[in-house]
Chains A and B, each alone.
Chain A
Amino acid sequence: ALTSEEAQANKIKRQAADRLVTMRLLKAMEVDGPWRLTDLGREYVQRLAQ
């Protein structure tokens, strides 16, 4: 079982991923993931790395 801290951390990650989907940086392969970068997401990560 998860501790409440772990459950809260998971919830925050899920919310962050959902937000990235609405920003078209990630796409969910199924309803509950896994997720992949979109073309736009790949461009963003490349800019981050520079």
Chain B
Amino acid sequence: LTSEQNQLMIQASQSGTLHLPIEDP
């Protein structure tokens, strides 16, 4: 995985859920 993907995986693991900002339309 990329470092970005690993970071998201760790974030999801630590927080239980992963929240990302909704993209601007």
Contacts and interface: CB of A to CB of B under 8 A. Distances in A.
B8 A7 contact: no
Contacts, number: 65
A14 B23 contact: yes
Interface of B: 1-2, 4-6, 8-10, 12-13, 16-24
28 contacts: A7-B24, A10-B21, A11-B23, A13-B8, A13-B20, A14-B20, A16-B2, A16-B5, A17-B18, A17-B20, A20-B8, A25-B9, A26-B8, A26-B18, A32-B22, A33-B18, A33-B19, A35-B8, A35-B17, A35-B18, A36-B16, A36-B17, A36-B18, A37-B9, A37-B12, A42-B13, A45-B9, A48-B6
